[in-house]
Amino acid sequence: MKNYTPPVKSSWKGRDSDRVLYLHEKVDCQIITHLPKHTTGFALLGYACDIGVKRNQGRIGAKNGSAEIRKALGKMPNHLEAHQKITDVGDIHCQSQDLEETQKALSDAVTTLLDKNLFPLLMGGGHDMAYAHYNGIKNHLLSKGKRPSIGIINFDAHFDLREDTQGANSGTPFYQISNENEPFHYLCLGIRKDANDRKLFETAHELDVTYVERNTFRIQFAKEINTWIRAFMDKVDHIYVSVDLDGFSSAYAPGVSAPSPMGFSPDIVSQSLDTIIASGKLISMDIAEMNPVYDVDGQTAKLAASLMHQIVHSEFS
């Protein structure tokens, strides 16, 4: 399989127990092409690529993000039942700086995981992964004879609606999706005016994007935000969630490609995820822009791992 690195069990380390008390003891490692025909649970897939970040003039280093998230997640406690599965299926990596080929490989991998009845949890890596991730979900649904009705919920400071006339990058994924899908269902939570130029706001309005600005995306407005999220989800059959770690304040996530102290806090994201999970429509999720080069005491990796811990221990696990 092109652009693919199999998982390595030694990547999963932590405190040892004789009762599988920690996730590193729980995680199974499987080559993606060797997965059983009938399986269930969560599949962890890394996106070891930051070429899109480089093209978008961001700080490179996110290609190693998935490795650091694994380290943080493996040390966390395991509260799952014995029959609940978590499988590490390895990484999609970039060869010869060919972003488009890497995105195609990621899209195919996501489709494979969904076809196997697994829930993909992607770790990255540049946010250009979102374009590939969406296409992987779409192709899975089309293969089932279903007309895709996919709503995107993106936790992010940025719209990522830049035009791709000069090629794809980490700022173009949702613009690319909008060009290829009608209708285009996109909710962005945490948008900042100091992180998006006027043209991006104009594009968002032209595409009928629903968004909540950072000043409103706060825990004290959780009731209103949950109402907006539910109203958005009512319009679609499936929800794909993307979490861009650079949307968080750098007080919580210093290790990202585009940091800012003005971002949102983890509490409102966690609250929103609970609402999304309760809908029963969540089909896949990714966490993007983890950049270990600039992390402090593994803080950003721990934040990403905690969000994943919440998902795998949620009611639909």
195-231 pLDDT, tens per residue?
Answer: 999 999 999 999 999 999 999 999 999 999 999 999 9
Give the span between the Cα atoms of 111 and 135, in whole angstroms. Answer: 8
Specify whether the CB–CB gap between 200 and 247 falls below 8 A: no
- From the list 246, 260, 255, 257, the residue with the least C-alpha distance to 298 is 255
301 CB-near residues (< 8 Å, 6+ apart)? 65, 68, 69, 71, 72, 255, 290, 292, 295
What are 206's two structure tokens? Answer: 């032209």
151-176 pLDDT, tens per residue?
Answer: 999 999 999 999 999 999 999 999 99
Specify whether the CB–CB gap between 284 and 129 falls below 8 A: no
27: pLDDT strictly greater than 80 = yes
Average pLDDT, the chain: 96
CA-angle at 29, arms to 27 and 35, nearest 5°: 120
- From the list 317, 281, 314, 287, the residue with the least C-alpha distance to 300 is 287
What does the H/E/C string look like for 188-244?
A: EEEECHHHCCHHHHHHHHHCCCEEEECCCCCHHHHHHHHHHHHHHHCCCCEEEEEEE
- Annotated binding-site residue? 246: yes
100-121 pLDDT, tens per residue?
Answer: 999 999 999 999 999 999 999 9
User: Per-residue pLDDT averaged across 254-272, rounded?
Assistant: 97
Q: Which domains does the chain have, with CATH numbers?
A: 4-312 (3.40.800.10)
- pLDDT band (50, 70, 90) for residue 97: confident
- From the list 242, 203, 200, the residue with the least C-alpha distance to 56 is 200
- Annotated binding-site residue? 98: no
In terms of C-beta density within 10 A (0-12 exposed, 13-18 middle, 19 or more buried), how is residue 81 classed? exposed
Phi/psi at 191 (5° precision):
-60, 135
User: Per-residue pLDDT averaged across 21-43, rounded?
Assistant: 94
In terms of C-beta density within 10 A (0-12 exposed, 13-18 middle, 19 or more buried), how is residue 140 classed? buried
pLDDT value, residue 313 = 96
- Annotated binding-site residue? 83: no
What does the H/E/C string look like for 107-167?
A: HHHHHHHHHCCCEEEEEECCCCHHHHHHHHHHHHHHHCCCCCCEEEEEECCCCCCCCCCCC
- Annotated binding-site residue? 313: no
Specify whether the CB–CB gap between 267 and 232 falls below 8 A: no
Give the span between the Cα atoms of 185 and 171, in whole angstroms. Answer: 18
38: pLDDT strictly greater than 80 = no
Run of H or E residues at 23: helix 23-26
pLDDT value, residue 221 = 98
Give the span between the Cα atoms of 86 and 91, in whole angstroms. Answer: 15
pLDDT value, residue 192 = 98
Give the span between the Cα atoms of 39 and 48, in whole angstroms. Answer: 25
257: pLDDT strictly greater than 80 = yes
317: pLDDT strictly greater than 60 = no
- From the list 56, 98, 23, 46, the residue with the least C-alpha distance to 288 is 46
